Structure 1
Amino acid sequence: MNYLIGEYECKLDTKGRMVVPAALKRQLPDVEREGLVVNRGFEKNLVIYTRAEWNKILGQLSRLNQFQVRNREFVRKFTSGATELLLDAAGRVLLPKNLLEYAEMDSELVLACNLEKIEVWSKRKYEEQMNSISEEDFSDLAEQVMGNFDFGGGADV
């Protein structure tokens, strides 16, 4: 799996269409054949997955015990609203109105690559999210999250 990189500002037209930036499209070689899937994110944003990545997640969800209420509720909530996106001839995708309303999107968007998925934010909410943690707090968070990883390195002696 190649991880996606980059942050892209783009516009949403009045019909709810968004042009997939060329630099991002180059990272998605199978997008025109396989399509994408968009769904609700956890922070009032949207998340776009490649079809392969979405199928991998569905495979993980299918292994959950459906006799447990919490599992059923999570799967139901997580998959509700998931919609296939197909690129048109102009390289645009139509984002569903119900998902745009959920994420409180206006015409200015930010596409932020996050490992194997693309987060879609209203520009205003993205700036709020990114500014909500100071550089010092980010440094502390990095230590908490990444501090115990063994990266296989060490001092060269």
Structure 2
Amino acid sequence: MESFRGRFTNKIDAKGRVSVPAKFRAVTVAQGFNGIICFPPLNEGRFIEGCGPAFSNQIDQMLARLDPFSTERDMLASVLLGESAELMFDADGRVILPEGLREMAGIADEATFVGAGERFQIWEPKAYEVFAVEAKKQVPGFRAMLKAQPPTTDGGGR
């Protein structure tokens, strides 16, 4: 499966339109959607979360496993679904980032798209640079979390 990879910074025009990186557009189009889905982050970061329909479906499945009448499910759904926006590509591969999401992320004139595998983030460029410096400092401590899966056997004895 295709994944969102790389970092790209693009200008936002006066109408709030920004060009989605071609590599990112290819991922969502391959998933059968001519656009992107954006929503606020669940952590305290100042960025916009983005994905295609594959990850959006995973969100739906995660929410479906929760008690449908629980406060936690209501709160998660209000952010992940209620505050989300399906943004369709125009003929030039641009989307209009909703003003509320842009304000929440502090995005004005430029947006930095950062791949994160099955999803991506959209940052104000200077804010991302600050985050990236801190991430590069902390990542060596997280190395043990990335363990390779053991090889699978074919089921036939030894």
Structure 1 equivalent of residue 24 of structure 2: 24
Q: Which residue identity lines up with residue 140 of structure 1 in the other structure?
A: G
Q: Aligned match of 1:91 in 79, 90, 93?
A: 93
State the shift of 1:127 in Å.
0.5
State the shift of 1:32 in Å.
7.6
Which string of whole-angstrom CA distances, capped at 9 and with x for unpartnered residues, describes residues 61-100 of structure 1?
A: 1221023222222222332320111011121101101111
CA–CA distance in 2 between the matches of 1:32 and 1:151? Answer: 30
In structure 2, the residue corresponding to 1:100 is in which secondary structure? helix
The answer to whether 1:13 aligns with 2:13 is yes
Q: Which residue identity lines up with residue 20 of structure 2 in the other structure?
A: V
Q: Which residue identity lines up with residue 116 of structure 2 in the other structure?
A: N
Which string of whole-angstrom CA distances, capped at 9 and with x for unpartnered residues, describes residues 96-130 of structure 1?
A: 01111111112122100101111100001101111
CA–CA distance in 2 between the matches of 1:53 and 1:69? Answer: 23
Evaluate the alpha carbon distance shift between residue 151 and residue 98 of structure 1 in structure 2; reply closer, same or farther with a 3 A threshold: same
Could you tell which deviates more after superposition, 124-133 or 53-62?
53-62
Structure 2 equivalent of residue 110 of structure 1: 112
CA–CA distance in 1 between the matches of 2:149 and 2:33? Answer: 37
Structure 1 equivalent of residue 155 of structure 2: none
Query: Please, which runs of 5 or more residues in structure 2 have no aligned partner?
Result: 152-158
State the shift of 1:142 in Å.
1.7
The total of aligned residue pairs comes to 149
Structure 2 equivalent of residue 123 of structure 1: 125
CA–CA distance in 1 between the matches of 2:62 and 2:135? Answer: 32
Query: Please, which runs of 5 or more residues in structure 1 have no aligned partner?
Result: none
Structure 2 equivalent of residue 72 of structure 1: 74
State the shift of 1:53 in Å.
2.2
State the shift of 1:35 in Å.
2.7
Contact 2:37–2:85 under 8 Å retained in 1: yes
Evaluate the alpha carbon distance shift between residue 50 and residue 134 of structure 1 in structure 2; reply closer, same or farther with a 3 A threshold: closer
Structure 2 equivalent of residue 3 of structure 1: 3
CA–CA distance in 2 between the matches of 1:73 and 1:54? Answer: 17
CA–CA distance in 2 between the matches of 1:22 and 1:36? Answer: 12
State the shift of 1:47 in Å.
1.3
Q: Structure 1-normalised TM-score? A: 0.82
In structure 1, the residue corresponding to 2:114 is in which secondary structure? strand
Contact 1:16–1:95 under 8 Å retained in 2: yes
| Superposed CA RMSD | 2.1
Could you tell which deviates more after superposition, 11-20 or 72-81?
72-81
Q: Which residue identity lines up with residue 86 of structure 1 in the other structure?
A: M
CA–CA distance in 2 between the matches of 1:112 and 1:88? Answer: 21
In structure 2, the residue corresponding to 1:119 is in which secondary structure? strand
Q: Structure 2-normalised TM-score? A: 0.82
